[in-house]
Structure 1
Amino acid sequence: MLGIARGAARFSEILGSVSGLSDRMLALRLRELEHAGLIDRVVEPTTPVTVRYVLTAQGRDLLTALQPLVRYGQVWERAESEHD
């Protein structure tokens, strides 16, 4: 949810923010997140059609709950690298 966490994001933006992620895997994960009610797929009637993904209220709530765990991981990752 990297780009999505900052607001609406296009498929290509999300794909570019995660190294090693294939188009197929991202499409599968986005469908799963949409089915779980964590993101919405918003189709904008432009030419060509623009599709953006945005967090739902449930997705924003989950992100808020996960942020302390992310910070914990970052702190201990830095601590590990300082000891090496």
Structure 2
Amino acid sequence: MSQGNTDVTTEVSPVRQCETPAAQAACSVLEVLGRVSGKWSIGILLVTTQGPARFTELERQVKGISRRMLTLTLRNLERDGLLTRTVYPTVPPKVEYTATPMARELYDSLLALTGWAERHLHEIDRARADYDGAAAPEAVRTPALAG
């Protein structure tokens, strides 16, 4: 056990951080950004902005997603108003997910962000290399142990 953690008596509650109206707005924005910036959400939105998609289609096209994570992400995106779920009365039931106009607007923003990243990729790589070169610690020399 770390000595630094022995005096912790209270847990920081996310509710306390969002008590003022300004803090509530910031918390809401961060929550939405966190939700839509996840790799699964982005993958689902990329597919559904191209047209309606069924669950199995999404499962095939969003590489690496589990059925459970796909279900949870679809529910969250539907709850946030980014997807519309349509159930057709067939046997077995046919369910399609479609991006809403709000999701299509988000898609346009994602394309702009992707374009920015592509335009500045070399600059970012160069900055990282410069930073890593300047911040690399000198090799720590340990004295030889007397034998």
Normalising by structure 2, what TM-score?
A: 0.48
Give 1:17's aligned residue: 61
Residues matched between the structures, number: 78
Runs of 4+ in 1 over 4 A off after TM superposition: none
Provide the C-alpha distance between the structure 1 equivalents of 2:56 and 2:117, rounded to a whole number of angstroms: 27
Aligned-residue Cα RMSD (Å) equals: 1.7
Normalized per residue, the structure richer in strand is: 1
Structure 1 residue 72: Cα displacement: 3.5
Structure 1 residue 62: Cα displacement: 1.0
The structure with the larger Rg is 2
Structure with more relative contact order (C-alpha pairs < 8 Å, separation 6 or more):
1
Tell whether the 8 Å contact from 1:10 to 1:51 is kept in structure 2 after alignment.
Answer: yes
Percent identity between the two aligned chains: 40
Normalising by structure 1, what TM-score?
A: 0.81
Structure 1 residue 45: Cα displacement: 1.3
Where in structure 2 are there 5+ consecutive unaligned residues? 1-44, 126-147
Tell whether the 8 Å contact from 1:2 to 1:14 is kept in structure 2 after alignment.
Answer: no
